[in-house]
Structure 1
Amino acid sequence: MDSTALREQAEAWRKADPDPTTGEELARVLASGDTVDLADRFAGNLEFGTAGLRGVLGAGPNRMNRAVVRRTTAGLARYLKAQIPDVVSRGVVVGRDGRRMSPEFAEDTACVLAAEGIPALVFPSLVPTPVTAFALLHLNAAAAVMITASHNPPEYNGYKLYWSNGAQIIPPHDKRIAAAIDAVEPANQVRLLTPAEAREKNLWREIPASVGDDYLKAILGLRVHGRGTDALSIVYTAMHGVGGTWMERAMKSAGFTRFHTVAEQQQPDGTFPTVRFPNPEEPGAMDLSLATAERVKADLVLANDPDADRLAVMARDAAGALRMLTGNEVGVLLGHYLLTQGTKRGRPHVATTIVSSVQLGQIAKDLGAAFDEVLTGFKWIANRALERERSEGTQFVFGYEEALGYTPGTVVRDKDGVSAALVFADLAAWCQSRGVTVLGYLEEIQRRHGLFVGAQRNFTFSGPGGAQTISGIMEGFRRAPPAKVGALTVVSLKDYKTGEARTGDQVERLTLPPSNVIAYELEGGGRVTLRPSGTEPKIKYYFELKETPGAGESLAQARARAEGRLQAFIDAFVTLARDRGQPA
């Protein structure tokens, strides 16, 4: 697009922008003559996918703003009326976190729904994402919208959609909703009622506090050991998010009396003043938690991300030092605990994703449980669980993805950092009652079901050429798949985009939907998986190796050897990536 056409498009958007703040922002960009910034803002519409919308706050169709939210909601409302005729009686739940612009986006969502004749069931205050997902099922609503950008930096916000089954949407809904949004009129022509008008017409209905009470009661029922203790000291951080009061209530009700919060991060604050990137996995994000834990001599540290759908865990090792558990380790611990100690009502079912550890699958096989490995994203776990419950009568026990997402049971059909934290505390109390540490329990699992070590490496490519760089790396591996990675031979290749699995000369069709993911399986049980991030300009590599301890060898020795092999494996693969187009 030439500069004249770009400026004309930007001027048309500015005139149709219902928000004076972003209208003035775009006017300043136009006046500055910064065509690079302008081109990025108008590089396309912020893509509506299976995770809804997520983007940087600002003016233009490639940003999160009120114009985008109003048009998105109008398209969604019209699609819902076509797909779910009783949506006008069931309504749509609307929740929001504590980020910048979340109140405005939630209000616009509710007011556009109301103008379309759909009751908006609105949380009057901030709520965790899993509470919004719970309310959808609890109130028998037709859908739910959560205004959140999860663990992204403070300049982001987003729009997350749940379908009537309680899970995030999957194809073909995403493409069809995107098409409905594209057909919506300019933002300043989208009809919306004022909150007062919507309330007068009974199309704005506040969700009562009893729904939150029912959520807490339901997650308390997920515990297995079921006995809190004053012997276990826990530190918790809300990471400036919305999980704080919910976790305090849950832990108090569960009987965990030595529950300490990181005061500096307990209250919601969309500027995230103590962390640049409010993700517990990011370097430095857990520093205040660690300091608090050492001060109160905590046994366990639990951390939610800002919308409380993820959980990070730190536990004491044999030397008494706090160690961050990986997402896979937390997933293996919770999965094994719920499978072996939980109540059985039919064949248990657990699930994880193609970029998570294979260990949960090994545990399920050893214990006779049903198991699924699905595409990345909790929407696939939840929808697969629902499918197997309907067709086979399985009991969904647990699902997880390595990016700190876990769901115990079926209270919420998505990842839930609040219930996962509660169940993990229950697990830790059970371990303590047995005279075993959390990491001691992990060692028991690894001795019985195998020692797996893994790591992840992310590479960010921002700017207009970032997507092209990431695409080039993926296609480079497709054109020239490696025969070896370092000293390890590649024994099979799975390309989830083409739907093919190759082992030698044999080719099989994959059953999962197409996705831009490549996985290489290596001799001895190793694996490396490549995929672009769905929400950030990153390419992600996931590495895993299996190690067999020698006779009489301690697990610590075997782990040290495995970690050395893993690092050599990672270094060799990154070198291969550079040969296929990744900048140094």
Structure 2
Amino acid sequence: MSDLRRAAAEWLAQDPDPDTRAELQALLDAGDDAALADRFASRLEFGTAGLRGELGAGPNRMNRVTVMRAAAGLAARLLAGDPNAQDGTSPDQATDANAQDGTPAGRATDVPGGPAGMAGGTGRPGVVIGYDARHGSRQFALDTAAVVTGAGLRAWVMPRPLPTPVLAFAVRHLGADAGVMVTASHNPPRDNGYKVYWGDGAQILTPLDAEIAAAIDAVGRVDELPLGKPGDWTVLDDDIVEAYLVALDGLPLDGSPRDVSIAYTPMHGVGLEVLRRAFARAGFPEPAVVAEQAEPDPDFPTVAFPNPEEPGAMDLVMALAERTGADLAIANDPDADRCAVAVPGPDGWRTLTGDEVGGLLAEYVLRHTRGGDRLVVTTIVSSSLLGRIAERHGVRFAESLTGFKWIMKARTAPDDRQVFGYEEALGYSLGGDGGVPVRDKDGIGAALAIAALAAEAKRDGRTLLDLLDDQARRYGLHLTAPLSIRVEDRALIAGAMTRLRTAPPTALGGLQVTRVDDLTAGSGGLPPTEGLRLRMPGARVVIRPSGTEPKLKCYLEVVRPPGDNDRDAAARTLEAIRTDLAATLALT
């Protein structure tokens, strides 16, 4: 028997899922060694993004065995000690980073609105588990609960499919030591994933990911794991959603008008119910909803990719906005942690970039909060505009590596009070004078704030496009655009990065490349990361592989000084850079 067939037989013997057992048995019976190699010659690697991959049998797929192993590894790491240690920060930083709510290391001492007896710091370590409406998500959540309770931990499971920001909020609200969200966010329907949070309510970082991965490697057969059963874990009720909505009351919305009409889509995901309740609670009119995309559907039948950034993904909501005469179109991705915005313009509806929304929300938050200790954060691939906004408003500014796991750990001083963080990929976390209530991107909270901003502009006879022009006049025009290239073979991405390092381009879009930064060596005090940054006069390009999809992602920015507000000229320069970069990469 070959090693592949032996590994498949061993997997088959422990797999509790009749569907993946049948899939694997069919491959064994057919002698399909290529398909077996695809599933067993490699495996999904647990990292700072947790796990994410295609559903199916074998260690290189998302399935019940993979999830149970991950849960057992997480439980082992929690039981190994100090569940309050922060990923990649010193003990002092850990305390300061989580002091915004007055509790050390993100542990709740009181859980208003939560079930009795769930305060952190007592008894066994605990894990709160959420899930979206994708194929397999609920079962993966229940498997996680069974494994962690079988290992002797406490577990709380969300009452139904809910947005990722509700889970991220619940970690701190319940005083849990960790959180798990079963979701693949905006990936294609064939995928699912497993995102892990620590006791501070933020996603895990190095070295914690490696410690959990090592614990997963030590897990034996899953059919030999001790398992809890229903009744051993707590199924939460709607109080947890209500507590999240109460927390959103802390957003700086007071005094803003509410006269704004919105067209909305949850994009076949789980955002609709919570967003409707959040809007009603804040006094906004109920949005018009895209009927074809209103209900959760794990097959995402109306979009090629359920990602608001993808071309065509927002066509239905913009069409609804046009029909209803809406002021604004808003989309959440399927797990509602991202928020996309479209507005009417002279040439019809257009989507705003994540950087445009980030700049607008940053100034909105800074106008409605106070204090020189306020901190705003973005990533090295996002627009440089936020730094200029922070300087003008006299607040602290930090850059982080890509992803909210880094944004929520960024600090410039021990007493930083983060009130805003964003990344260009439509992710935003914002708060009032008490800091951010959710330590991850929050598409519901962002939708509330952008509605308030649009209502303010409408009251003054203006639009979000007018506000963008105001920013260009104040800070200079900052125009950004992505170049994302999807591949079937990730080795092509590694090859492209090697070529760029060996022979970087000398010019792009007619601009001389004056400097190349290899981000694997670290940059500006940040940890090393896979990527390159190319600098040109008045322009910048960052190139990096995606951490969750088989994509090479490039982030382009052209900056014109205040007074030079020629968007057409800047757009032509941006497109020229994009064209030359695509030719240099040679991946299409």
Taking structure 1 as the reference length, the TM-score comes to 0.91
Aligned twin of 2:499:
476
Aligned twin of 2:178:
143
> What secondary structure does 1:497 align onto?
helix
> What secondary structure does 2:578 align onto?
helix
Segments of structure 1 that go 5 or more residues without pairing to the other structure are 502-509
1:479-498 equivalences under 5 Å are 479-498=502-521
Deviation readout 1:118-147 (Å, 9 max, x if unpaired): 111111211110000101111111010011
Is it true that 1:394 corresponds to 2:413 in the alignment? no
Deviation readout 1:504-559 (Å, 9 max, x if unpaired): xxxxxx411111011111112x1011100111111111111112476xx7x4xx00
Q: Which of 286, 297, 311 lines up with 1:269 in the alignment?
A: 297
Is it true that 1:544 corresponds to 2:544 in the alignment? no
In the alignment, the residues of structure 2 paired with residue 141 and residue 310 of structure 1 have an alpha-carbon distance, to the nearest angstrom, of 24
Aligned twin of 1:206:
235
Q: Which of 86, 89, 104 lines up with 2:124 in the alignment?
A: 89
Aligned twin of 1:301:
329
Aligned twin of 1:22:
20
One-letter amino acid of the structure 1 residue matched with residue 541 of structure 2: V
One-letter amino acid of the structure 2 residue matched with residue 437 of structure 1: T
Q: Which of 555, 575, 579 lines up with 1:571 in the alignment?
A: 579
In the alignment, the residues of structure 2 paired with residue 28 and residue 4 of structure 1 have an alpha-carbon distance, to the nearest angstrom, of 17
Taking structure 2 as the reference length, the TM-score comes to 0.90
RMSD of the TM alignment (CA)?
1.7
1:483-562 equivalences under 5 Å are 483-499=506-522, 510-524=524-538, 526-548=539-561, 555=565, 558-562=566-570
Aligned twin of 2:361:
334
In the alignment, the residues of structure 2 paired with residue 453 and residue 287 of structure 1 have an alpha-carbon distance, to the nearest angstrom, of 23
Cα 1:226–1:126 change in 2 (3 A) is farther
Deviation readout 1:276-326 (Å, 9 max, x if unpaired): 311111122212212211111101011100100000001122x27221001
1:441-480 equivalences under 5 Å are 441-462=467-488, 466-480=489-503
1:416-431 equivalences under 5 Å are 416-431=442-457
1:63-78 equivalences under 5 Å are 63-78=61-76
For the 8 Å contact 2:512–2:536, the answer to whether it is kept is yes
In the alignment, the residues of structure 1 paired with residue 61 and residue 306 of structure 2 have an alpha-carbon distance, to the nearest angstrom, of 20
Q: Which of 447, 452, 462 lines up with 1:436 in the alignment?
A: 462
In the alignment, the residues of structure 2 paired with residue 84 and residue 228 of structure 1 have an alpha-carbon distance, to the nearest angstrom, of 46
Cα 1:431–1:320 change in 2 (3 A) is farther
Aligned residues with identical type, % of pairs:
49
Aligned twin of 2:227:
192
For the 8 Å contact 2:252–2:365, the answer to whether it is kept is no
Q: How far does residue 461 in structure 1 lie from its aligned partner after superposition?
A: 1.7
Which piece of structure 1 moves more, 147-156 or 84-93? 84-93
In the alignment, the residues of structure 2 paired with residue 83 and residue 354 of structure 1 have an alpha-carbon distance, to the nearest angstrom, of 34
1:31-50 equivalences under 5 Å are 31-50=29-48
> What secondary structure does 2:304 align onto?
coil
One-letter amino acid of the structure 2 residue matched with residue 212 of structure 1: V
Which piece of structure 1 moves more, 70-79 or 217-226? 217-226
In the alignment, the residues of structure 2 paired with residue 482 and residue 292 of structure 1 have an alpha-carbon distance, to the nearest angstrom, of 44
1:272-291 equivalences under 5 Å are 272-291=300-319
Deviation readout 1:376-425 (Å, 9 max, x if unpaired): 111000111xx45xx43122111111111000021000000000000110
Aligned twin of 1:506:
none
Is it true that 1:411 corresponds to 2:437 in the alignment? yes
Is it true that 1:217 corresponds to 2:240 in the alignment? no
Q: How far does residue 434 in structure 1 lie from its aligned partner after superposition?
A: 2.0
One-letter amino acid of the structure 1 residue matched with residue 540 of structure 2: R
Q: How far does residue 8 in structure 1 lie from its aligned partner after superposition?
A: 1.8
Aligned twin of 1:121:
156
Which piece of structure 1 moves more, 401-410 or 205-214? 205-214
Is it true that 1:155 corresponds to 2:190 in the alignment? yes
Aligned twin of 2:91:
none
Aligned twin of 1:507:
none
In the alignment, the residues of structure 2 paired with residue 334 and residue 547 of structure 1 have an alpha-carbon distance, to the nearest angstrom, of 21
Which piece of structure 1 moves more, 476-485 or 278-287? 476-485
Aligned twin of 1:504:
none
Aligned twin of 2:110:
none
> What secondary structure does 1:89 align onto?
coil
> What secondary structure does 1:62 align onto?
coil
> What secondary structure does 1:383 align onto?
coil
Deviation readout 1:225-270 (Å, 9 max, x if unpaired): 54453x3211111111111011111111222225211122111111
Is it true that 1:241 corresponds to 2:290 in the alignment? no
Which piece of structure 1 moves more, 358-367 or 238-247? 358-367
Q: How far does residue 435 in structure 1 lie from its aligned partner after superposition?
A: 2.0
In the alignment, the residues of structure 1 paired with residue 350 and residue 58 of structure 2 have an alpha-carbon distance, to the nearest angstrom, of 43
In the alignment, the residues of structure 1 paired with residue 68 and residue 255 of structure 2 have an alpha-carbon distance, to the nearest angstrom, of 45
For the 8 Å contact 2:54–2:191, the answer to whether it is kept is yes
Aligned twin of 1:255:
283
In the alignment, the residues of structure 2 paired with residue 43 and residue 87 of structure 1 have an alpha-carbon distance, to the nearest angstrom, of 43
> What secondary structure does 2:360 align onto?
helix
Count of residues in Structure 1 that have an aligned counterpart in Structure 2: 547
> What secondary structure does 2:180 align onto?
strand
Which piece of structure 1 moves more, 481-490 or 401-410? 481-490
Cα 1:139–1:346 change in 2 (3 A) is farther
Deviation readout 1:343-373 (Å, 9 max, x if unpaired): 2144221111111111111211232221111
> What secondary structure does 1:208 align onto?
coil
For the 8 Å contact 1:88–1:118, the answer to whether it is kept is no
For the 8 Å contact 1:460–1:537, the answer to whether it is kept is yes
Q: How far does residue 87 in structure 1 lie from its aligned partner after superposition?
A: 8.1
In the alignment, the residues of structure 2 paired with residue 109 and residue 261 of structure 1 have an alpha-carbon distance, to the nearest angstrom, of 34
Segments of structure 2 that go 5 or more residues without pairing to the other structure are 84-120
Is it true that 1:108 corresponds to 2:135 in the alignment? no
Which piece of structure 1 moves more, 70-79 or 271-280? 271-280
Q: How far does residue 212 in structure 1 lie from its aligned partner after superposition?
A: 1.2
In the alignment, the residues of structure 1 paired with residue 71 and residue 235 of structure 2 have an alpha-carbon distance, to the nearest angstrom, of 19
Which piece of structure 1 moves more, 490-499 or 447-456? 490-499
